[in-house]
A and B are shown apart, each in its own frame.
Chain A
Amino acid sequence: KQEVTQIPAALSVPEGENLVLNCSFTDSAIYNLQWFRQDPGKGLTSLLLIQSSQREQTSGRLNASLDKSSGRSTLYIAASQPGDSATYLCAAPGYGGATNKLIFGTGTLLAVQP
């Protein structure tokens, strides 16, 4: 059974700081892992999808890495801005391999102070 854990649950940083959000998963037989952003009262916005063969994926100031052997993924945000304030969720496939059932962590609530 896949379980996803995110640490920390909440994080507050001053503007301009670089930061790392952590995600761990129990079933490492996954083809990919997805990071999402959720603003209050809104749906989820896909940020990055990392295929297991890629190990790392970048989009602008965001960089996500995936280490299947250790069951971990990190989301690195460079030069944080107040507009980055949101909840960040990671999601892994629910069974081994490629599956459509995503298992989500409870998220990290990020506040970037101006």
Chain B
Amino acid sequence: GAGVSQTPSNKVTEKGKYVELRCDPISGHTALYWYRQSLGQGPEFLIYFQGTGAADDSGLPNDRFFAVRPEGSVSTLKIQRTERGDSAVYLCASSFAGGGTDTQYFGPGTRLTVL
């Protein structure tokens, strides 16, 4: 089947604007993850969903960041009042069951540029 997909692939916005990034996980995967990757760095964990609920949001940097997964499939990462420091590639991943024992499969990412 299809892999993890993310839209848009690129997003350019102005400082202070609101953005939404979308992730479609692999069909049947109950666990979904968001990571953020800055240039030259490894991905940094943001949030993990098991089903519809956020099981671990310890990586969200502040209250401008919020994510939802209302039906346990598609997830949206929402960033309010964007800042230039939010510029990065936002990666989504999914895994079959979560629990930390199975492979995480990553999407191609959304490159966010805040001007």
Are A43 and B109 in touch, CB under 8 angstroms?
Answer: yes
B1 within 8 A of partner (CB): no
A19 within 8 A of partner (CB): no
Are B100 and A105 in touch, CB under 8 angstroms?
Answer: no
Q: Which of B12-20, B54-62, B64-72, B74-82 contacts A (4 or more CB under 8 A)?
A: B54-62
B91 within 8 A of partner (CB): yes
Report the Cα distance A46→B104, complex, angstroms. Answer: 7
Are A105 and B42 in touch, CB under 8 angstroms?
Answer: yes
Binding site for A on B (CB under 8 A): 4, 31, 33, 35, 40-45, 48, 50, 55-56, 58-59, 91, 93, 95, 98-109
Are A101 and B106 in touch, CB under 8 angstroms?
Answer: no
Are A31 and B105 in touch, CB under 8 angstroms?
Answer: no
Query: Hey, which chain B residues are within 8 Å of A44, CB to CB?
Result: 43, 91, 93, 106
Report the Cα distance A46→B103, complex, angstroms. Answer: 7
Please classify how large the interface on chain A is, using the bins under 10, 10 to 19, 20 to 34, 35 or more.
Answer: 20 to 34
Which 8 A-B pairs give the minimum distances between C-beta atoms? Answer: A104-B42, A98-B100, A44-B106, A43-B108, A99-B100, A43-B106, A100-B48, A101-B45
> Interface residues of A: mostly helix, strand, loop or mixed?
strand
Binding site for B on A (CB under 8 A): 4, 31-32, 34, 36, 42-46, 49, 51, 89, 91, 93-94, 97-107
Known pairs A44-B91, A100-B95, A106-B42 / 15 extra A-B pairs, C-beta < 8 Å: A32-B101, A34-B103, A43-B109, A44-B43, A44-B106, A45-B106, A89-B42, A91-B42, A93-B100, A97-B100, A100-B100, A101-B48, A102-B33, A103-B45, A104-B44
Are B101 and A98 in touch, CB under 8 angstroms?
Answer: yes
Are B100 and A107 in touch, CB under 8 angstroms?
Answer: no
The closest CB in chain B to the CB of A42 belongs to B108
